Amino acid sequence: MNYRPYQHIERRKSRQIHVGRVPVGGGAPITVQTMTNTLTTDVAATVAQIKRAERAGVDIVRVSCPDQESALALKQIVRQVDVPVVADIHFHYKRAIEAAESGAACLRINPGNIGSSERVRDVVKAARDHGCSMRIGVNAGSLEKHLLEKYGEPNPEALVESALEHAKILQDHDFHEFKISVKASDVFLAVAAYTQLAEVCDHPLHIGITEAGSRRAGTVKSAIGLGNLLWAGIGDTVRVSLSAEPEEEVLVGWDLLKSLGIRHRGVKIISCPSCARQGFDVIRTVQTLEERLAHIETPITLSIIGCVVNGPGEALMTDLGVTGGGAGKHMVYAAGKTDHTMPAENMVEHIVDLVERKAAALQAEMAAAKAAAE
């Protein structure tokens, strides 16, 4: 073998923490995160947004707590959602305590920014008392003054030094249930910082390219940066930061993990860019199928290829496949083998039905296997 799929890459060894019931690090599956953008005090809107993210497959959601009202609103929010909630805290240590008391599963807080050792001690106690982990979140755009004076500008060394300084504060209070991020909007800076940090500590790492941009541009930047890190075995939980709705971040995060073969969820569509040889409108068909099949969680691969040049070959590697043919009839493949032809009319409905039936069969197989194992 002259290439290395993800399964053959040695993942960085890290200690494991928990964000609520979700394990992070220590070989646990790499999780997908997002952050709400509603006013946290608007409980109904925040819960609705988290529910949309849950349907997209989110594992962990972060919620901003800039004031007391927001921290207290968490109590109502966490009761209505199924995923653990991280409270985003910046400078006020009381917000962290209130968030822990309100049911947050994790506190995103930099201990060096909240003042005295007594304040850190109080936050650590609240975290322990309420089963909270923490995330140290270093950002190139908000580095401490003394590090900017030392290094002259944000660089990987400054980001890593900042992260380790904050980590030491928690370790000095005998608190070790934390993960670390060292984000930057510059892809090269972020990747270099994470690579250096991965070499000098065993804490789980939350990876991301911060403020990446719009859905298209931010997806490209994130894929480059996060793809490099994941391919190097670095990263235990991931957020794709986009100027888009939270569920869009989740979908892109899952697409990234699926593209690398790291985790599988829902329908993975392999489709051609289309050309004059296409036997049907590939672009519109794929767009419609993505929407119609979004509710399926069972991992399934589906190839949609406009003509016979690459269609049969792609179908060999997918659960289901469709290849455009002549005279308004297209070939359907199942498990890599020709199965039947279908007319162009109601093509999408036919494919949706095939995928739903395949998902149901796979779910039944998994349930039977689980019952047999028990």
Q: What's the chain's average pLDDT?
A: 94
Number of domains in the chain: 2
Mean pLDDT of 76-81: 98
Please identify, among 204, 233, 259, the residue that sits at the C-terminal boundary of a domain: 259
Q: Does residue 344 or residue 32 have the better pLDDT?
A: 32
Q: CA distances (Å), 149 to each of 143, 145, 146, 181, 286, in order?
A: 10, 6, 5, 22, 52
Of the chain, the percentage scoring pLDDT greater than 90 comes to: 87
Residue 1 has a pLDDT of 44
Average pLDDT over residues 239-252: 96
Query: Do 56 and 136 sit in the same domain of this protein?
Result: yes
Contact status, residue 61 vs residue 34, Cβ threshold 8 Å = yes
Q: What is the pTM of this model?
A: 0.92
Same domain flag for 114 and 202: yes
Look at residues 239, 259, 279 and tell me which one is the last residue of a structural domain: 259
Asked whether residue 2 carries a pLDDT value surpassing 60, the answer given is: no
184 falls within a domain: yes
272 plus 193 within the same structural domain: no
Residue 321 has pLDDT above 60, yes or no: yes
pLDDT tens figures, 260-311? 999 999 999 999 999 999 999 999 999 999 999 999 999 999 999 999 888 8
Q: Are 69 and 99 part of one and the same domain?
A: yes
37 & 122 share domain: yes
What string of H, E and C letters represents the secondary structure of 293-334? Answer: CCCCCCCEEEEEECCCCCHHHHHCCCCEEEECCCCCEEEEEE
**Last-in-domain residue among 199, 224, 259:** 259
Q: Are residues 108 and 255 in the same domain?
A: yes
Do residues 255 and 274 share a domain?
A: no
- Give residue 320's domain range: 267-373
Is residue 2 situated within a structural domain? no
Residue 7: pLDDT band by 50, 70, 90 thresholds? low
CATH number for the domain harbouring residue 357 = 3.30.413.10
Residue 142 domain-assigned (yes or no): yes
Chain segment 106-123, per-residue pLDDT in tens: 999 999 888 899 999 999
Kindly state whether residues 237 and 306 are assigned to the same domain: no
Identify whether 30 is part of a domain: yes
Q: Which CATH number is 40's domain given?
A: 3.20.20.20
Between residues 332 and 9, which one has the greater pLDDT?
332
Residue 244 shares a structural domain with residue 131: yes
Residue 5 lies in a domain: no
- The answer to whether position 3 is within a domain reads no
Question: Are residues 218 and 299 part of one domain?
Answer: no
What pLDDT score was predicted for residue 191? Answer: 98
* SS3 label, residue 137: strand
**Does 44 fall in a domain?**
yes
CA gap 251, 221 in Å, rounded:
15
> Does a structural domain hold residue 4?
no
Statement to judge: residues 43 and 101 lie in one domain: yes
Mean pLDDT, rounded, for 340-368: 94
Q: What is the pLDDT of residues 266-276, one digit of tens each?
A: 999 999 999 99
pLDDT reported for residue 175: 97
In the structure encoding, which two tokens stand for residue 243, read together? 């100027």
Strands 337-343, 17-19: parallel, antiparallel or unpaired by DSSP?
unpaired
Tell whether 277 and 196 lie within a shared domain. no
The residue with tokens 């989740």 is 250
